[in-house]
């Protein structure tokens, strides 16, 4: 039951994008098309989950025993950068169309603060390895869910007669705000 609450809390109640405002750059940047949002969401799920597991192990078995906690952020950034490069190489070979669609945003996962934020939150919440993995995966799914919903809404907005001054970023920000308010309805669920 504890893990179900952890998943529901990470996906809906404390959504990494809509509640904690981490990962806004790819959230706004890649959400123009649903197809590229699916690919970005999948890449973020993979990177956040794997990065959290690896950074947990590095922190727990290397940094803490050697009392090198001050190197935590630097070590995490290096791990995340290496994992993103690995995902980029795999995507380039497996799905060139998706690689091309993601363009500059795939390397930007390296600087996506959601990836680093989840890895640091796991340490702050003092989760064990299984809890860390579940929390990371659920947080990444929450990111992907918010991204897909937002991309679907933005695609629909292309078909609507939006006033000229509201087109582009203004309507996207208003839509993101309304979506965040909608997710606030889950507060108190967990």
Give domain limits for the chain: 15-184
Confidence at 23, pLDDT banded by 50, 70, 90: confident
pLDDT at 99: 80
Confidence at 17, pLDDT banded by 50, 70, 90: very high
Q: What mean pLDDT is reported for the chain?
A: 89
Indicate if the pLDDT at residue 175 is higher than 80: yes
Indicate if the pLDDT at residue 152 is higher than 90: yes
Indicate if the pLDDT at residue 37 is higher than 80: yes
Query: Does residue 27 or residue 106 have the better pLDDT?
Result: 27
Instruction: Give the pLDDT mean for 98-120.
Output: 80
Query: Directed axis angle between helix 34-58 and helix 72-94, to 10°?
Result: 140
How far are the Cα atoms of 14, 20, 23, 61, 167 from residue 141, in angstroms, in the given order? 12, 14, 13, 27, 29
pLDDT at 117: 94
pLDDT at 133: 97
Indicate if the pLDDT at residue 105 is higher than 70: no
Instruction: Give the pLDDT mean for 16-21.
Output: 92
119-123, 130-134, 154-158: the lowest-pLDDT one: 154-158
Query: How crowded is the C-beta side of 167, counted as CA atoms within 13 Å?
Result: 8
pLDDT at 6: 94
Whole-number Å distance between alpha carbons of 190 and 188: 5
For residue 174, what is the DSSP state? H
Q: Which residue has the tokens 């390397």?
A: 107
Q: Is 168 helix (H, G, I), strand (E, B) or coil?
A: coil
Whole-number Å distance between alpha carbons of 84 and 70: 23
């Amino acid at each position: 039951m504890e893990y179900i609450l952890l998943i529901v809390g990470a996906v809906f109640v404390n959504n990494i994008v809509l509640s904690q405002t981490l990962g806004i750059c790819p959230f706004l940047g890649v959400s123009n098309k649903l197809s590229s949002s699916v690919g970005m969401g999948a890449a973020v799920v993979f990177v956040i989950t794997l990065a959290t597991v690896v950074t947990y192990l590095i922190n727990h078995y290397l940094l803490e025993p050697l009392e090198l906690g001050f190197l935590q952020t630097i070590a995490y950034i290096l791990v995340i950068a290496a994992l993103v490069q690995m995902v980029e190489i795999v995507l380039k070979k497996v799905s060139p169309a998706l690689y091309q669609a993601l363009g500059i945003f795939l390397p930007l996962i390296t600087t996506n603060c959601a990836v680093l934020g989840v890895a640091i939150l796991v340490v702050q919440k003092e989760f064990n390895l299984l809890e860390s993995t579940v929390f990371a995966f659920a947080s990444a799914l929450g990111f992907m869910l918010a991204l897909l919903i937002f991309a679907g809404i933005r695609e629909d907005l292309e078909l609507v007669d939006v006033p000229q001054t509201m087109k582009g970023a203004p309507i996207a920000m208003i839509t993101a705000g309304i979506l965040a308010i909608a997710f606030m309805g889950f507060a108190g669920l967990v």
